[in-house]
Structure 1
Amino acid sequence: MNFGLKVGITPNEIIEIATHCIPFCGFPRALNAVQVAKQLFAEQNIEVNIEDELLNHIDERRERGLAKLQEIDGAHGEAVADSLADIAPLLAEQIIEFAFGEIYSRSALSSKQRQLVTLGALTAQGGCEPQLHVHLNAAIRVGLTKQEVIEALLQCSPYTGFPKVLNAITVAKKIFISE
């Protein structure tokens, strides 16, 4: 986080990155990241003033989520939600309403930035190859180049190790060859 601040990432963007990771890494990891950020900001006397622009629009989550899901993932996102309809419809609704209606719809990060964060989070966890497939397609859909995607995955190597990055690159290779 300190390096991020040094290269121009704002405190609000750091908090937004941690928030964006909730659907991919879970609340405990995101909460831990926010606590580290709070400590860093306190040590450096950095004031953070975050307004949640969606807090007063909770009733619009589903519609906003469906629109954002279509924008980001297109048919891949719809397929994920549809695949859950007969076994875990509540999970499908949580993906639509929370992940896309609340998290992805926030304005603090661009769609490209969000996909870079998502690729890093999924690669770091490992074992998320089906989700990486969806989000690698989304990365291209929102305008990231193949080279930017590969660079983002390579950036994970020192933090996650080569096996997880190799798995992510294998998924990317399948997607890029099929285009």
Structure 2
Amino acid sequence: MKLKKNDPDFFEIFNNFNNKEILEYVSISKRTRFIITLATLITNTSKEKYAIAVRDALEVLSPVEIKEVLYQSVAYVGLGKTFELFEITNDVLIENAIQLPLESKSTVARENRHEKGLEIQKKYFGDDMIQSMIDNAPEGQERFNDFLAGYCFGDFYTRDALSDQDRELATFCILATLGGCENQLRGHVLGNFNVGNDKEVLIDALTILLPYIGFPRTLNALAIINEY
């Protein structure tokens, strides 16, 4: 409301583009649109916008699903950007009379998280690609593949509440928002295809992202999608 009062020209331009014109071109569900929006706001650390989006998302996403989008982002965005957003999320949920902590959605133990993460990597990207990555790791740098399998995929991708399609789409949106992650973005375009998100879904996602991430990062991501 402050923006509408103090910068009416900008408010009208952005509102018309983001809430009207953009929506004419997308066919994905409102639920999926909120997953995309939450993912990009987390990545940009847009605290005020994120808090509003969490509140509004409760219309179509469960509290657990909202929290899982945040969990999914941590390995890609980093703790520095996400730590405060956990508190913001919790504050909004408490304001809406939601009891915390939420039910745990972890499905792995310390003993099998690496194995289960590796299984998901191979499911999304293929045995050959993952084995090649492991085999070709420079000496002394093998730990990063272990971290990917155990932490990124083992600790987070194995969690319940979001589907494979939800998690890979959120990851695509996070990487597109970050920018400068083109190699990883290529891998996750393929990952999206392998879990059932087709090219149209990714283009719809980019359409939703455009007002939040700008044209350069949007067009870079679109060029990568069009490589396939």
Same fold (TM over 0.5): yes
In structure 2, the CA distance between the partners of 1:15 and 1:82, relative to structure 1 (3 Å rule), is farther
Deviations 1:69-103 (A, max 9, x none): 10112144444444434352111100011111111
Larger radius of gyration: 2
Conservation of the 8 A alpha-carbon contact between 1:119 and 1:153? no
Letter of the structure 2 residue corresponding to residue 149 of structure 1: L
Letter of the structure 1 residue corresponding to residue 176 of structure 2: T
Q: Give how far 1:9 is off.
A: 0.8
Runs (5+) with no aligned partner, structure 2: 1-53
Deviations 1:99-158 (A, max 9, x none): 111111112210000011101110111111100000000000001111001111221111
Aligned length: 173
Query: Structure 1 stretch 82-91 or stretch 110-119: which is displaced more?
Result: 82-91
Aligned counterpart in structure 2 of residue 23 of structure 1, from 47, 62, 75: 75
Conservation of the 8 A alpha-carbon contact between 1:77 and 1:134? no
Structure 1 partner of 2:97? 45
In structure 2, the CA distance between the partners of 1:134 and 1:82, relative to structure 1 (3 Å rule), is farther
Letter of the structure 1 residue corresponding to residue 204 of structure 2: E
**CA–CA separation in structure 1 for the residues paired with 2:214 and 2:167:** 22
**How does 1:85-164 map onto structure 2 within 5 Å?**
85-86=138-139, 88-164=141-217
Conservation of the 8 A alpha-carbon contact between 2:106 and 2:158? no
Structure 2 partner of 1:73? 125
SS in 2 for 1:21: helix
In structure 2, the CA distance between the partners of 1:167 and 1:106, relative to structure 1 (3 Å rule), is same
Q: Give how far 1:26 is off.
A: 0.7
Structure 1 partner of 2:220? 167
Conservation of the 8 A alpha-carbon contact between 2:173 and 2:205? yes
**CA–CA separation in structure 2 for the residues paired with 1:83 and 1:30:** 32
Conservation of the 8 A alpha-carbon contact between 1:76 and 1:134? no
Using the size of structure 2 for normalisation, the TM-score is: 0.71
**CA–CA separation in structure 2 for the residues paired with 1:101 and 1:143:** 21
Letter of the structure 1 residue corresponding to residue 124 of structure 2: I
SS in 2 for 1:32: helix
Using the size of structure 1 for normalisation, the TM-score is: 0.89
Q: What percent identity do the matched residue pairs reach?
A: 27
